[in-house]
Amino acid sequence: MSRLGKNPIEITAGTTVTVSGDTVTIKGAKGELVRTFRSEISVEVKDNAIVLTPNGDNVFVRSLWGTVGSHVRNMMEGVTKGFEKKIILEGVGFKSAVAGSSLDLALGFSHPVKVPVPAGLTVTADKNIITISGIDKESVGQFAAYVRSLKKPEPYKGKGFRYDGEVIRRKQGKKSA
């Protein structure tokens, strides 16, 4: 039994949920999310709640049950509250700015780095703190991880991108005799 999958997901006020076949559509104040799930899990709307039931009893279906439940919960939270990740850029001479639909970065390379912002995401940059926000948790996290991968934090001075609240373990430098 899946602890996440067996609990019904309450539909919050101001959101509408439509299920047609394997496709779930959730509309809320912030926008609309559509996702198609595998047919091993049935998604139904009953008594102002979303109920997930597995169509079989094997290890794969039981693991998929909780995963589908998490995806539906994230969709519900995304259209009501939204998701946000903050990335901090540390280092002398490192700069970030948003120009149109691209993120312009100066990361100490011989060339500026321009990253196109995916549709559905809002990116703001002020004082080397980049804020990525949107309604889809996967796309927010994926774009934040991609931006962080451009210049990972190094352990000696801590230069590079790090998430807000992330702790970078520092190493001691060379000792002089």
> In the chain, where are the structural domains located?
9-80, 83-163
Q: Which H or E run includes 132?
A: strand 129-134
**In angstroms, rounded to a whole number, what is the distance separating the alpha carbons of residues 9 and 108?**
47
**In angstroms, rounded to a whole number, what is the distance separating the alpha carbons of residues 95 and 65?**
44
What's the pTM?
A: 0.89
CATH 1.20.1250.20, domain 83-163, yes or no: no
| Burial readout 44-67 (b: 16 or more C-beta within 10 A, e: otherwise) | ebeeeebebebeeeeeebeebbbe
Pairing of strands 83-90, 160-163: antiparallel
Asked if 9-80 and 83-163 have one fold, the answer is yes
Can you read off the two tokens belonging to residue 35?
A: 């996702």
**In angstroms, rounded to a whole number, what is the distance separating the alpha carbons of residues 35 and 44?**
14
Assigned fold of 9-80: Outer Surface Protein A; domain 3 (3.90.930)
3-state helix, strand, coil in the chain (%, to 5): 20, 40, 40
**In angstroms, rounded to a whole number, what is the distance separating the alpha carbons of residues 58 and 120?**
37
Per-residue pLDDT of the chain (177 residues; tens, 9 = 90+): 567 778 899 999 899 999 998 999 999 999 999 999 999 999 999 989 999 999 988 999 988 999 999 999 999 999 999 999 999 999 898 999 999 899 999 999 999 999 999 999 999 999 889 999 999 999 999 999 999 999 999 999 889 999 999 888 888 888 876
**In angstroms, rounded to a whole number, what is the distance separating the alpha carbons of residues 92 and 86?**
19
Q: Whose CA is closest to 16, among 81, 80, 74?
A: 80
**In angstroms, rounded to a whole number, what is the distance separating the alpha carbons of residues 70 and 87?**
25
